[in-house]
Amino acid sequence: MQDKRKGKSLMDKIKETTANIKGLDTKLMEEAQERLDSLTKPLGSLGRLEELAKQIVGISAKESPKLKNKVIFTLAADHGVTEEGVSAYPKEVTAQMVYNFVRGGAGINVLAKHSGARVVVVDIGVAEDLKSSPELVIRKIGYGTKNMAKGPAMTRDEAIKSIEAGIAVFEEEFKKGIDIIGTGEMGIGNTTAASAITAVFTGRSVEELTGRGAGVDDKGLKNKIEIIKKAIKVNQPDPKDAIDVLSKVGGFEIGGLVGIILAAASKKVPVVIDGFISGAAALVAYKIEPKVKDYMIAAHCSVEIGHRIILDYIGLKPLLDLDLRLGEGTGAALGISLADAAVKILTQMATFKSANVSEKIK
């Protein structure tokens, strides 16, 4: 499998990126724990915030990290499986919402601004040509995937290219400075793809992990389950081959997020995972390189039952449970706020010694 323009194997960039994903800095994490234990509070009393601060020290390999440059990547793509009536919304909404992101009117824009993050909007596979804008990155792999109920959603080459496009998008933004990222997406029909990916990798039944997505009724849910089962039967994705699964039942935006997650981990940048579709991308990334798990922070647990199944499978504990199911990176924006708070606890609180406060009686 050669990319003639570069004279390289299409997989080279992915292999190069994953090879740079190392373990966390355990020595600095031990030192962070010592500092946390010396702060003016009862031992462990800030719970998950303390765990989060310690994890970010280990990821960044910095004794006193600062989360100044925060970026949420929101990737958009269409899905051919919408032909099967799996969504409550028409596929045109994908492009319409991208314009909403670009104008700053969506939920992700509001919550990103609240958390001090900027949003990078990427067209990686919207089914129409979008108007150019300084606020929009075009990395289109194709005009939406094929209908996975009838055959593979994409070719293997397209799956690899979607991952490599995500890596390229991250690396371009990394030049501007990134301390933490969040993952987000937009794509009518993408909970169908996420459900199929989750079923293949976890071995759980389609009925058990498929939710209502953007709001299908009972009849729509039954149809969605049948279509996912059909797609898996038709394509026979190999759970031991992450790229095979992505190509057969995935989406371009899911592949792009896989690349972003892998690239961030390779650069020692914490990755705040949003909801179900971002979770499916995290699952594919984890299957490609298990070490990436340590770089992931689960922002929340979605209403979509499949999301909890993913988090349990990877071994991630969500920070929040707010009945969210919007996507876009909205939950990740909230998670980034908590990560920022955690780091400030570590770096700005006084110790018992510096504050001249008496410690616990031994």
Pick from 336, 356, 55: nearest CA to 179? 336
> What contacts 301, CB < 8 A, 6 or more positions away?
307, 308, 311, 318, 320, 321
Distances (CA, A) of 230 to 74, 102, 147, 161: 29, 36, 11, 26
> 75 pairs with which residues across the strands?
122, 185
CA 197 to the chain's CA centroid: 14
Q: Give me the catalytic one of 92, 158, 328, 359.
A: 328
For residue 85, which of 214, 185, 276, 184 has the smallest C-alpha distance?
214
- The full DSSP string for 19-35 is HT-----HHHHHHHHHH
CA 134 to CA 4: how far, in whole Å? 30
Token readout for 162 is: 């979607």
At position 176, the amino acid (one-letter code) is K
Sequence-distant (≥ 6) Cβ neighbours of residue 129 within 8 angstroms: none
Cα end-to-end distance, the chain, whole Å? 66
d(CA 299, CA 272): 6
328 is catalytic: yes
3-state SS class at 257: helix
The number of helix segments (H) and strand segments (E) in the chain equals: 15, 8
What residues are labeled active site?
328
